[in-house]
Amino acid sequence: MPKMKTHNGARKRFRVTGSGKLMRERANRRHYLEHKPSSYKRRLKPDTTVAKADVARIRRMLGI
């Protein structure tokens, strides 16, 4: 059987920590930033963990 390919969209969006957790960036931090409040942009800054309901699907896409 051939090797399983990593889903390229998932590869760009998610990363795995050393302990095995899946991390993602928050939405709304890409463009139109000049009219968003600074407090809102600060809140969007830190990466967050992926929801528990999505973990199995994303792991399968990443080939983990």
What domain range is 25 assigned to? Answer: 8-62
pLDDT tens readout for residues 10-64: 999 999 999 999 999 999 999 999 999 999 999 999 999 999 999 999 999 999 8
Please check whether residue 42 lies inside any domain of the structure: yes
Domain of 53: which CATH number? 4.10.410.60
Please check whether residue 2 lies inside any domain of the structure: no
Please check whether residue 23 lies inside any domain of the structure: yes
Q: Is the dihedral of CA 52, 36, 13, 20 positive or negative?
A: negative
Please check whether residue 1 lies inside any domain of the structure: no
Please check whether residue 3 lies inside any domain of the structure: no
For the chain, give percent helix, strand, coil, nearest 5.
40, 10, 50
Count of domains in the chain? 1
